[in-house]
């Protein structure tokens, strides 16, 4: 479900991000320019993606550097704390020595000097030297203790500084990681856009090449100023036929609750006709195949055919096809099998690529006006397919079973 929702969101973003052309292509030059504009946009997204990927590498390197600094700071802090502990131990030992020396000094100073001279010292000079030596030892030890305590204070200050450095490094790493996460999201978005654009670029290039061939065959000209209407050989139909020999409407055209995503009031640009997978699909009206887009993530294999019925231009479109049976540029009549019904094996539920189908069916739609590969369908021009009752449960048993309002 999360994947489906993400696909829907991406498609929504694409509608906003893709270039919208003010009018349909009228000349070969228009088709060429639209193709080139799409190609440039695709390249722009690819460049954005590559730039974001390079920035990710830079941020990752910065994280690695910061982690090394953090490791060094932690090691230095540990080393400093070990020194502090060793100094504290040494201070305790020296303090004990000082106490012993001071006790001895106090003891000898309380003696009768003359008795000491008589009893212990070999001479007065010897006794004085003894007393002086004890005092010097005591002063040295005390000075050493003072130095050690000063070093401890300095090290403790260094420990606090190192802790602050570690905190700053950890915050820096978190910021880098957050930036990388955002960049990865950008890359995914850019890649999604680029992939969808890749399909549109291919379709636009194919549309241009096909029309160029048609203009060459019918007019002998392929310059930019050639009008597509002069090249077109779309036949005129007198009536519509059903695209299937039988079927039942399982979902109407218009606003509905999406059966896959559960999104309320999502717009459904055609009717769904329930039928067995593999069933032949016919052209509802004779016309020219203008686009086919393979294996899209929502709609699967899509086919678009421009038709003319009673002098009015329409686009007919067929989604969730199992496979195509025609190519862009082909002129088809109402007896042409243009493809075969899919929607079951092609669905993501059953290991396929199409996330917008829950089972075998044909999505069939009609819009007024010819299809433009770049701008896509125009919602305001989409109509209920002629001859269909736009209600769930409507059943037809032949291609000529035309519903009368």
In angstroms, the CA 318 to CA 282 distance is 10
Which of 207, 232, 257 is the C-terminal boundary of a domain? 232
Residue in 291, 288, 312 with CA at minimum distance from that of residue 303:
291
Q: Which residues of 377-390 are buried (b: 16+ CB within 10 A; e: fewer)?
A: beeeebebbebbbe
| Percent of the chain at pLDDT exceeding 90 | 30
Strand partners, 267: 255
User: What integer pLDDT is reported at residue 340 of this predicted model?
Assistant: 98
Q: With the CA atoms of 392, 393, 395 and 401 taken in that order, what torsion angle do they form, in degrees rounded to the nearest 10? A: -40
User: Does 218 or 2 have the greater pLDDT score?
Assistant: 218
pLDDT in tens, 144-161: 767 777 777 776 777 787
pLDDT at position 107? 61
Task: Please state, in angstroms and rounded to a whole number, the distance separating the CA atoms of residues 366 and 385.
Answer: 5
Which H helix or E strand runs over 132?
A: helix 124-218
| Pair (217, 244) in one structural domain | no
**Which positions ≥6 away from 61 have C-beta within 8 Å?**
none
Total structural domains within the chain: 2
Instruction: Please compute Rg for the chain using Cα positions.
Output: 43
Q: What is the pLDDT of residue 195?
A: 53
Do 188 and 313 fall into the same domain? no
State the pLDDT confidence band at 194, using cuts at 50, 70 and 90. low
Which of 211, 232, 253 is the last residue before a domain boundary?
A: 232
Token digits for 286? 């004779």
> Which is nearest to 200 in space by CA: 35, 6, 15, 7?
35
Instruction: Classify residue 12: in a domain, yes or no.
Output: no
Q: Are residues 339 and 350 in the same domain?
A: yes
Cα–Cα distances in angstroms (integers) from residue 275 to residues 13, 248, 314, 352, 362, in the given order: 32, 7, 25, 18, 7
Structure tokens belonging to residue 97:
């020595």
Kindly state the average pLDDT of the residues 345-356.
92
Indicate whether 289 and 161 sit together in one domain. Answer: no
3-state secondary structure 174-211: HHHHHHHHHHHHHHHHHHHHHHHHHHHHHHHHHHHHHH
Same domain as 285, residue 300 = yes
* Same domain assignment for residues 173 and 83: yes
Q: Are residues 224 and 249 in the same domain?
A: no
Least trusted range by pLDDT, from 77-91, 300-314, 376-390: 77-91
Spatial separation of the C-alpha atoms in residues 369 and 363, rounded to whole Å: 19
In a domain, 366, yes or no: yes
Average pLDDT, the chain: 77
Phi and psi for 378 in degrees, rounded to 5? Answer: -110, 110
Same domain, 174 and 243: no
Q: What is the mean pLDDT of residues 2-27?
A: 42
Residue 385 counted as domain residue: yes
Residue 42, in any domain of the structure: yes
Q: Which of 126-135, 200-209, 271-280, 377-386 has the lowest mean pLDDT?
A: 126-135
- 200-218: average pLDDT: 78
Q: Which of 130, 97, 391, 111 is nearest to 271 (CA)?
A: 391
Half-sphere exposure of 108 (CA within 13 A, CB side): 19
Same domain, 294 and 311: yes
CATH number at residue 298: 2.70.70.10
Distance, CA of 248 to CA of 266 (rounded, Å)? 21
* Whole-number pLDDT of residue 139: 74
* Claim: this prediction has a pTM higher than 0.75: no
CATH number of domain containing 174: 1.10.287
Q: For a pLDDT cut of 70, what percent of the chain falls above it? A: 74
CA-to-CA separations, 196 to 63, 246, 324, 403, in angstroms, rounded: 33, 34, 20, 37
Q: Does residue 356 lie within any of the structural domains?
A: yes
Q: Is the pLDDT of residue 278 over 60?
A: yes
Last residue of one domain, picked from the residues 232, 250, 280: 232
Name beta bridge partners: 308. Answer: 236, 313
Give the residue with greater pLDDT, 265 vs 345.
345
Domain that holds residue 242: 235-400
Q: Are the C-beta atoms of 354 and 298 separated by less than 8 Å? A: yes
Q: Mind giving me the DSSP string for 150-162?
A: HHHHHHHHHHHHH
- Domain annotation covers residue 295: yes
Q: Report the pLDDT value the prediction gives residue 23, as an integer from 0 to 100.
A: 45
Q: Which residue has the tokens 């802090």?
A: 77
* 15 in a structural domain: no
Give the contacts of 358 (CB within 8 A, at least 6 positions apart): 259, 260, 343, 347, 349
- Same domain for 252 and 108: no
Q: Which residue has the higher pLDDT, 57 or 400?
A: 400
Q: Residue 7 domain-assigned?
A: no
| pLDDT tens digit sequence for 53-70 | 777 777 777 777 777 777
């Amino acid at each position: 479900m999360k994947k489906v929702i993400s696909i829907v969101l991406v498609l929504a973003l694409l509608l906003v991000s893709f270039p919208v052309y003010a009018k349909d292509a009228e000349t070969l030059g228009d088709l060429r320019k639209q193709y080139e504009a799409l190609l440039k946009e695709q390249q722009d997204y690819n460049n954005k993606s590559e730039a974001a990927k390079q920035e990710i590498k830079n941020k990752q390197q910065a994280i690695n550097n910061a982690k090394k600094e953090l490791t060094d700071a932690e090691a230095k802090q540990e080393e400093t704390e070990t020194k502090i502990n060793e100094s504290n131990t040494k201070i305790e030992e020296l303090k004990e020595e000082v106490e012993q020396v001071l006790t001895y000094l106090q003891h000898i100073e309380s003696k009768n000097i003359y008795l000491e001279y008589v009893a212990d010292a070999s001479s007065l000079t010897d006794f004085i030297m003894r007393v002086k030596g004890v005092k010097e030892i005591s002063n040295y030890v005390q000075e050493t203790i003072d130095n050690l305590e000063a070093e401890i204070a300095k090290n403790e200050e260094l420990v606090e500084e190192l802790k602050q450095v570690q905190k700053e490094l950890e915050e820096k790493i978190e910021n880098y990681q957050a930036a990388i996460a955002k960049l990865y999201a950008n890359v995914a978005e850019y890649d999604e856009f680029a992939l969808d654009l890749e399909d549109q670029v291919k379709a636009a290039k194919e549309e241009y090449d096909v029309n160029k061939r048609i203009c060459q065959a019918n007019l002998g000209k392929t310059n930019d100023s050639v009008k597509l209407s002069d090249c077109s050989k779309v036949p005129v139909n007198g009536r519509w036929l059903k695209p299937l020999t039988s079927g039942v409407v399982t979902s109407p055209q218009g606003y509905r609750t999406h059966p896959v995503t559960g999104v309320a009031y999502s717009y459904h640009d055609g009717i769904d006709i329930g039928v067995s997978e593999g069933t032949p699909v016919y052209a509802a009206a004779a016309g020219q195949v203008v686009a086919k887009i393979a294996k899209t993530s929502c709609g699967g294999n899509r086919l678009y055919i421009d038709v003319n019925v009673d002098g009015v231009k329409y686009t007919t479109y067929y989604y969730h096809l199992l496979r195509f049976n025609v190519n862009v540029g082909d002129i088809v009549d109402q007896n042409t099998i243009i493809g075969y019904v899919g929607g079951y094996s092609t669905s993501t539920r059953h290991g396929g690529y199409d996330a917008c189908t829950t089972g075998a069916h044909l999505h069939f739609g009609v819009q007024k006006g010819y299809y433009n590969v770049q701008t896509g369908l125009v919602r305001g021009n989409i109509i209920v397919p002629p001859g269909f009752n736009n209600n769930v449960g409507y059943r037809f048993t032949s291609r000529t079973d035309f519903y009368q309002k």
